[in-house]
Chain A
Amino acid sequence: MSRDDPAPVTNRVRTAALVGNPNSGKSALFNALTGARQKIANYPGVTVERKAGRLALPGQEPVELVDLPGAYSFDAASPDEEVTRKVVHGEFAGEPTPDVLILVLDAANLEQHLVFAQEVLELGRPTVVALNMVDLAERDGLTLDPAALSEALGVPVIPTVAVRRKGLAELTAAIAEAETHADEEARKRWHITLPERRLAAKHMSKAAILSKSTRHTIENGIDRVLLNPWVGPVILFGLLFVIFQAVFAWATPFADALEGGVGAISEAVTASMASGFIRDFLTEGVLAGVGSVVVFLPQIVILFFFILVMEASGYMARAAFLMDRLMAGVGLSGKSFIPLLSSFACAIPGIMATRSIPDAKDRLTTILIAPLMTCSARLPVYAVIIAAVIPETTVGPGVGLQGLVLFALYVAGIVGAMAAALVLRRTVAKGAASGFIMEMPRYQLPRLKDLAIGLWQRAWVFLRRAGTIIFTVTIVLWLMLSFPKAEPGEGQMDASFAGMVADGLHPILEPIGFNREMSLALVPAMAAREVAVSALATTYAVDAADEDVAAEGVTDKIAALWSLPTALAFLAWFVFAPQCISTIAVARRETNGWKWPAFMVGYLFALAYVFAGLTYWGAVALGL
């Protein structure tokens, strides 16, 4: 979101920055003030880098508003906190020192948030305080006195509820006037030690709290169940299992409808156009390829729905708590669980989210194993193969065999990741055992509008990928498959350029049970995993001798042409194979070099080859 359009007038655009403790609602406020749609969620450490947007102020030019990662102190303990320290101190390359600081405080946790607040105010910069989440404070039985707090801090204090857009007009008015409030002399008294700050925070919060009812918050009651040592983990694993079942079961009617739609368009094109290059291009290339990926939109939306609800409600941090002991077993901590769970949707935000992990070796290990989490791009691959070779039977009440196989693939990814972490932490990422310190957020009911926006964003990203990367790669593949044209009596794939590529790769992949079409599909799938599906669809569509067979879906083709061991080997390959250019690129960015991404690609391909091979030969030996 960087803006580099030149300022129209000579005086530079003023900048304001949002600072405050983690999970105080800075990004929610940023979105409310700028109309942006930054990711917001209910756990500490959602925002890991600076984001800028434009904030309109009453009666003057708009200012650039910067959203920063939350920090407990300027004495940074993790990479994301370091970003905040640098920007606020004007040490961040290419970023002007913010003219105005908007200090965001959680109204229900004043005593804690006022500690860092004093550090911010010590800077002597024009500052406005947003006393955020006053609604949650009221829920907890707190009545606050913003005027008293304003007097104690010496800066304006505006009560806000960012997610409900309350107090925004007052806040922008205060930001507009902020510079006149700059009073560096008044801040001198803040230069004190941490225990003194803590004492001051205690007094200030006491003075600002007019009344408080019983300390019993709803968290105690809910956590008594969700964090119960025996019931809690059962609920967590039950929830994960339900998610994977739902991804298959709930999506089916929508996916069928989409598939029907793509089929109908394809038939209409075939019926209305003369046969030839353009028609083949549309039906075999565009519709067979891109269409085969687009039908997975419902499943991806359902998966993201669950992840967004877990993030927004505050349950994600509880899951991290429950998983910490298991993660400790492989040398990681519960902190790694949140990036890893996000990686079930996509490894890219997952890898970026590792910035909230303080320990460098922990963070590196988490980055290296994140691609093993079954991301949504694998879903089309798994779904097509499973639908083709696994019978649609039930193995128990409400438990389908297909859903169970999908769950097993997810488990395989998790077990692989844990085993990899265990080895990595003892070899290349060796270091002291890491700790786990994390603030548990209060529970919040997810807001429908935020959920809808989040889902729409993820759906749009998926469709854009289908329309760009997958579209392009599919078309290149289709051209390579279509030329040169086959002589009579020769298969089109045998004659084509793509066929030559497949012939080159096939000897390497044949020992692990892959056929030529699979070998070929792996090449374009380096761009993104789901391309494997569109590539197979296009390959089979081009290679089909007659029109009827060409109209069949890729699932039917696989069901007819692949043996069960071959299909299972292909699934095993995709559990491990790092087939995603974007993930490799983000790993390079987050580790500052090619060394670790190269290592990651190498070990994951090695694992993919070995496990696909073991699966194939194991299945053959079992007579499957």
Chain B
Amino acid sequence: MTLDAFEHEKTARITAVNWAVLAEDEAKRLKALGVDEGAEVAVIHRGIFGTRDPLAIRIGRMTIALRRSHALAIEVEPA
């Protein structure tokens, strides 16, 4: 399951990230923020007016905004 489809506010563990579909800079930035295999994340906010894009995820003690296109490249399982 991708992070995009994962249940709201439930903790997910990242099992794989399809880095190949992401721009190099964005992959770099996501990794630097700790979004990588093994990390535990939860989707806590969604974009305006039912667009569901972007997403805000909680990782560690941080909240990070990212796009659905990123979330679709992130495979997760329930933590």
Interface residues of A, Cβ cutoff 8 Å to B: 72-73, 75, 77-78, 108-109, 111-112, 115-116, 140, 194-195, 198, 215, 217, 219-220, 223, 227, 229-230, 232-233, 317, 320-322, 324-326, 328, 333-334, 358-359, 432, 435-440
| Most interface-central of A194, A215, A227, A320 (chain B CB within 10 A) | A227
Contact partner of A321 (CB less than 8 A), chosen from B23, B36, B45, B49, is: B45
Q: Is the CB of A324 within 8 A of B61?
A: no
Is B47 in the interface zone, CB < 8 Å from A? yes
Question: With A198-B36, A334-B54, A358-B29 known to touch, is A229 a contact of B46 (CB < 8 Å)?
Answer: yes
Q: Is the CB of A229 within 8 A of B36?
A: no
Q: Is the CB of B66 within 8 A of A229?
A: no
Docked pose: A230 CA to B44 CA in angstroms = 15
Within the complex, what minimum Cβ distance (angstroms) separates A140 from chain B?
A: 7
Residues of B within 8 Å of A109, CB to CB, are 60-62
Docked pose: A73 CA to B32 CA in angstroms = 7
Within residues 3 to 41 of chain B, which ones have a CB less than 8 A from any CB in chain A? 22-23, 25-26, 28-34, 36-38
Contact partner of A436 (CB less than 8 A), chosen from B34, B60, B62, B65, is: B65
19 A-B pairs in the complex with CB atoms less than 8 angstroms apart: A73-B32, A77-B29, A78-B25, A108-B61, A111-B34, A195-B38, A229-B45, A230-B49, A321-B65, A324-B47, A325-B51, A334-B65, A432-B23, A436-B54, A437-B29, A437-B67, A437-B70, A438-B64, A440-B63
Q: Is the CB of B60 within 8 A of A435?
A: no
Docked pose: A223 CA to B22 CA in angstroms = 28
Q: Using CB atoms, name the residue of chain B closest to A202.
A: B60
Contact partner of A325 (CB less than 8 A), chosen from B25, B48, B56, is: B48
Contact partner of A435 (CB less than 8 A), chosen from B23, B56, B61, is: B23
* Nearest 4 Cβ contacts at the A-B interface: A72-B32, A440-B63, A227-B45, A77-B25
Q: Is the CB of B64 within 8 A of A194?
A: no
Within the complex, what minimum Cβ distance (angstroms) separates A106 from chain B?
A: 9
Q: Is the CB of A140 within 8 A of B61?
A: yes
| Most interface-central of B29, B31, B65, B67 (chain A CB within 10 A) | B65
Docked pose: A198 CA to B33 CA in angstroms = 10
Residues of B within 8 Å of A437, CB to CB, are 26, 29-30, 33, 64-67, 70
Docked pose: A223 CA to B63 CA in angstroms = 10
Docked pose: A230 CA to B50 CA in angstroms = 8
Q: Using CB atoms, name the residue of chain B closest to A228.
A: B45
Residues of A within 8 Å of B62, CB to CB, are 109, 112, 439-440
Residues of A within 8 Å of B33, CB to CB, are 72, 112, 437, 439
Q: Is the CB of A227 within 8 A of B32?
A: no
Residues of B within 8 Å of A108, CB to CB, are 61
Docked pose: A192 CA to B70 CA in angstroms = 27
Seed contacts A230-B49, A333-B67; 13 additional CB < 8 Å A-B pairs: A72-B33, A112-B61, A116-B32, A229-B49, A233-B48, A322-B48, A324-B53, A325-B53, A326-B48, A436-B67, A437-B29, A439-B65, A440-B63
Docked pose: A333 CA to B46 CA in angstroms = 15
Q: Is the CB of B63 within 8 A of A219?
A: yes
Question: With A358-B25, A358-B29, A437-B29 known to touch, is A112 a contact of B34 (CB < 8 Å)?
Answer: yes
Docked pose: A137 CA to B49 CA in angstroms = 34
Q: Is the CB of A115 within 8 A of B32?
A: yes
Q: Is the CB of B64 within 8 A of A439?
A: yes
Within the complex, what minimum Cβ distance (angstroms) separates A225 from chain B?
A: 11
Q: Is the CB of A194 within 8 A of B44?
A: no
Residues of B within 8 Å of A359, CB to CB, are 23, 25
Q: Using CB atoms, name the residue of chain B closest to A116.
A: B32
Residues of B within 8 Å of A220, CB to CB, are 44
Docked pose: A198 CA to B36 CA in angstroms = 10
Docked pose: A439 CA to B63 CA in angstroms = 6
Q: Using CB atoms, name the residue of chain A closest to B54.
A: A324
Docked pose: A227 CA to B8 CA in angstroms = 14
Q: Is the CB of B67 within 8 A of A435?
A: yes
Residues of B within 8 Å of A325, CB to CB, are 47-49, 51, 53-54
Q: Is the CB of B65 within 8 A of A435?
A: no
Q: Is the CB of B31 within 8 A of A321?
A: no
Docked pose: A72 CA to B27 CA in angstroms = 13
